[in-house]
Structure 1
Amino acid sequence: MNKHITLEDAAKLIPDDCVVSVSSSSGLGCPDAMLKAIGERFEATGHPRGLTTLHPIAAGDMSGIKGVDHLAKKGLLKRIIGGSYPSGPSSAEPPLIWSMIGNEEVAAYNIPSGIMFDMHREAAAKRPGVMTKVGLDTFVDPDREGCAMNETARREAVVRKIDFEGETWLYFKAIAPQVAIIRATTADERGNLSYEHEGAYLGGLDQALAARNNGGIVIAQVKRLARHGSLKPHDVRVPGVLVDYVVVDAEQKQTTLTGYDPAISGEIFRPLDSFRTPEWNIQKVIARRVAQELSANTAVNLGFGISANVPRILLEEGLHGAVTWVIEQGAVGGVPLLDFAFGCASNADAFMPSPYQFTYFQGAGFDASLLSFLEIGRDGSVNVSKLSFRPHVTAGAGGFVDITARAKKIVFSGMFNAGAKLGVSNGKLAIEKDGKLKKLVQEVEHVTFSGPRGVSQGQDVTYVTERGVMKLTPDGVVLTEIAPGADLQTHLLDQAEFPLIVSSRLKLMDEKLFHEEPIGLTLSEKPAATLAEAA
């Protein structure tokens, strides 16, 4: 049976008031043509109406791949549940979905990406839901926002606290999709799917299982069709028994602003000297200091922002391969890419499906995570997910909460305050003018990482900025290093809303960080794990 149908016919299969699960990560793996066809059908006929859409990672990026913005129409969407939401360049018009959320035209929730994949798995197995400690004492916790992004969402809770065997857990009810929309590279006549040009597998298999096992349908968008029997069984990532219909978009982009790059899909390896190293600026100083927190022979998660440049620091220092990078979209090893290709890696060792990568993160099997911050609170909590002066910026937290929930070591990086005029001269930081917006605040507006929970779990938490390094302790946030050229009182203590604790052993940051040439970075070896240590 040939399962190929047109995009227009596939859009007609979406009934009113149904739950639709979409596999995507911004522009990576986004079934954009299928989402566009649904939006066009609604414009022409007023159907489908009242949809609930599930997005474990954002669909679309506002740089040529609209994703969920094709569905951001009043009446079409009733509820949206996302691990994250589309973003784009600051110069661009904000995504339409942001306006819908801000204007209370859709009930919107931000559930951590890993938990969303868990919810699909539980729905597929017809289990009641997910019980987890991921998200306790953060915006996920019903004692705070309970994942709700607006007042409309607060009318219907998606998470509640329960006691089980003397412990407190968060409980998310499984949600069974009636339709799953996933993406691959090739489909044969029976709907078997291979991913040879994709930069990640994401969670298409789990989403397909959730829909199929609950009587729903699975629509796969692909780049090309093949004869049955021409795909090697080991290459099929989603078997045809789970796929009902196949639609073709021969022009689908591999990821944002990228038609096709064989190094992203692991078909070739790029020479190491083809990767650009970071330009000389303050952000590079911070990235270098973050790199000094690493140990060799470790697996390290990487987030967006300044920390995304740390692999390039190691490359420049001749240490590529000393650390294995692991990112939530599923790449293991290689060189994680930057900017709108973030989420992809070239020269990867392997690609894991995202749901299993998140299991790895939630259980803290990895060694460290390098992430960004918008605000740091007096109690060490971090906000990366909301600022009131930008009320319609609703990109969500993605896998941040899953990753930090139990991580052994976390290094947050960012600028000490916002809007400062900074430079580097003669191996010293030059602060010409301080920013007006303080980022070290009495209480963060949105708790994406809980400092008190980090302390109670014994997590090793470091905050790296251009003018100082801080550690989270049971007593609070302690300043341990100061940049050469920075004045302790004027540039640090006076620029924090809360009284920073100054270490009795305060020292200068390594002066080599503030010179343009490589710093001669060395990484100590992490000792091999033993069963005795695990016990």
Structure 2
Amino acid sequence: MKTKQLNVDEAVARIPDGATIALTGSGGGLLEADLVFAALAERFRRTGHPRDLTLVHALGIGDGKGGGLGHFAQKGMVKRIIGGHWSWAPELQRMAREGEIEAYTLPAGVISTLLREVGAGRPGVITPIGLGTFADPEHGGGKVGPAASEDIVERIELDGRPYLRYKPIRVDVGIVRGSRADLHGNISTADEPADMDAYAVALAAHNCGGFVIGQVKEIQNGPFVPARQVTIPGVMVNVLVHHPEQRQSYAGEYDPAISGQALPKGRAERKEGPSGIRRIIASLAARELKAGMTVNYGFGIPGGISAVSDPQVISNCWEMVEQGIHNGELLDGALFGAARYPQAIVSSLEQFDFFAGGGLDIAFLGMGEMDAQGNVNVSQLGASVVGPGGFVEITQGARKVVFCGSFEAKGLDVAVENGALRFNSMGEIPKLVDQVRHVTFSGAEAIRREQEVFYVTERAIFRLTGEGVELVAVVKGVDVQRDVIERMAFRPLVRDVAEIALAGC
């Protein structure tokens, strides 16, 4: 049985008004079906159809400049979005904020798992992931923006314990991408930086009675040898779109090191790492790393921790990120989520299972706001929805969590002299607040789970205890009262405060 090959305009013409579309991809152009997205947007501009779409995606897709999800930011084209990460599509963030679309955000791993469960005909996802956070109906149930009203999450009890049930979603269309396909529609992601949740997207659409569009760079005449190269079997693919100009990522057309198809030549050069405040925080956080740990890094400041850590320690740790990458030279910035010379690439769905089930010894994550209860917000900053990405699964599953962020925002300027911190100017926006506006990490849930939790800034380090947030260390040159306590919205516990001299910053 051969899969039908269509040009991209013919493929997107099959998508009806009101369809629910599941997408795969991640920032930096990873597994992004860019040609299909652009054609779909152009068809809407030209004809006004398809309109009133629902988009479902686990991770952020785009470049922040109109690519990726940004193609869908047209009034009337989208009715609802259930997204795990929104930062790469600022115009959709605006539409959500102003009520032009029904906006929801859920943990990325939950969304990927939900697609798999929908494809398997099961009644949604039942999990403790999200309890006590924005995803919990007691804290909003994932609704963001004024137009969202439907309850898509419910709180239930099993064997006397609370869980969240994320309700199933009927998927009409799946849009996936691969490197190559054969004439039977089998799709391989062998040349891609990550597999993401492409299989789950295709499974959900196919088994809901919908159809799957697969964008590929190459269509080959013969079958894949070995057959294990196939990521999505052709039985789930209805339409192939050939895109010979497809790029592996925004960084370039193809790099075999990023797809794990090449080995490093000689010893890898030490990465330079971040600079300024970001380097200071990363260096302080790296003190928590110990040889033998399984470790995850989040986007932002945590992405630079590996580069500033002791090479002997790092070489004896197992590093990974939520996109499914294990070890290798983890990339930072726009290509966060990929690595050069990875040792293993698994689906993001399998990676999230590992995280949620407690596979991590330590996780380093960003910190937008932190409050007196030890809660952290990264999912809604200001009035805009950002979404958590994999933050919730990672922070609720790791044995030890280290949050990394500047003490203040907007205008903070510091320097390091002789191991001491000097403030050139303080920040205008406080980040250690009385109560965070969106609970992405619940301090109370962490205490219940007996997790070890630290909050690292450029001037002070805090720890979560059963009695509250405790100040445990300050950087040399910092006055505890003037530079820390008086610039917080709550008073931390203060007992034995250590002083840390900065080195290599």
TM-score class, shorter-chain normalisation, is over 0.9
Match of 1:326 among 296, 320, 324: 320
Query: How far apart are 1:308 and its partner, in Å?
Result: 0.7
Structure 2: distance between partners of 1:69 and 1:231 = 37
Equivalences for residues 207-286 of structure 1 within 5 A: 207-270=201-264, 272-274=267-269, 276-286=271-281
1:492 aligns with 2:487: no
Tell me, yes or no, if the aligned pair for 2:20 and 2:54 is still in contact at 8 Å.
yes
| Matched residue, 1:125 | 120
Structure 1: distance between partners of 2:12 and 2:270 = 41
Structure 1: distance between partners of 2:120 and 2:274 = 49
1:101 aligns with 2:96: yes
| Matched residue, 1:11 | 12
Amino acid at match of 2:321: I
Query: How far apart are 1:210 and its partner, in Å?
Result: 1.1
- C-alpha change, 1:409 and 1:47, in structure 2 (3 Å) is same
Structure 2: distance between partners of 1:122 and 1:280 = 43
Amino acid at match of 1:173: K
My pick for the range that moved more, 272-281 or 417-426, is 272-281
| Matched residue, 1:181 | 175
| Matched residue, 1:44 | 46
TM-score if structure 2 supplies the norm length?
A: 0.96
Tell me, yes or no, if the aligned pair for 2:294 and 2:319 is still in contact at 8 Å.
yes
Structure 1: distance between partners of 2:84 and 2:5 = 30
Query: How far apart are 1:76 and its partner, in Å?
Result: 1.5
1:507 aligns with 2:498: yes
My pick for the range that moved more, 167-176 or 350-359, is 167-176
Amino acid at match of 1:74: K
Match of 2:62 among 50, 60, 66: 60
SS of the aligned residue for 1:184 comes to: strand
Match of 1:428 among 405, 410, 420: 420
Mark the runs of 5 or more structure 1 residues left unpaired by the alignment.
Answer: 88-93, 517-535
Structure 2: distance between partners of 1:387 and 1:235 = 41
- C-alpha change, 1:467 and 1:299, in structure 2 (3 Å) is same
| Matched residue, 2:71 | 70
Structure 1: distance between partners of 2:455 and 2:425 = 22
- C-alpha change, 1:103 and 1:231, in structure 2 (3 Å) is farther
Query: How far apart are 1:231 and its partner, in Å?
Result: 4.2
- C-alpha change, 1:128 and 1:486, in structure 2 (3 Å) is same
SS of the aligned residue for 2:43 comes to: helix
- C-alpha change, 1:279 and 1:134, in structure 2 (3 Å) is closer
| Matched residue, 1:290 | 285
1:395 aligns with 2:382: no
Of all paired residues, the percent bearing the same amino acid is 37
Query: How far apart are 1:285 and its partner, in Å?
Result: 2.2
Equivalences for residues 438-449 of structure 1 within 5 A: 438-449=430-441
Tell me, yes or no, if the aligned pair for 2:132 and 2:445 is still in contact at 8 Å.
yes
Tell me, yes or no, if the aligned pair for 2:98 and 2:146 is still in contact at 8 Å.
no
Structure 1: distance between partners of 2:480 and 2:225 = 64
Match of 2:349 among 338, 346, 355: 355
Structure 1: distance between partners of 2:87 and 2:277 = 28
Amino acid at match of 1:129: G
SS of the aligned residue for 2:144 comes to: coil
1:338 aligns with 2:340: no
Query: How far apart are 1:222 and its partner, in Å?
Result: 0.7
Structure 2: distance between partners of 1:173 and 1:317 = 45
Mark the runs of 5 or more structure 2 residues left unpaired by the alignment.
Answer: none
Structure 2: distance between partners of 1:52 and 1:281 = 41
Structure 2: distance between partners of 1:151 and 1:103 = 7
- C-alpha change, 1:477 and 1:374, in structure 2 (3 Å) is same
SS of the aligned residue for 1:443 comes to: coil
Tell me, yes or no, if the aligned pair for 2:171 and 2:210 is still in contact at 8 Å.
yes
Structure 2: distance between partners of 1:86 and 1:374 = 14
Amino acid at match of 1:312: A
Match of 1:30 among 12, 29, 32: 32
| Matched residue, 2:396 | 405
> Across the two proteins, how many residue pairs are aligned to each other?
501
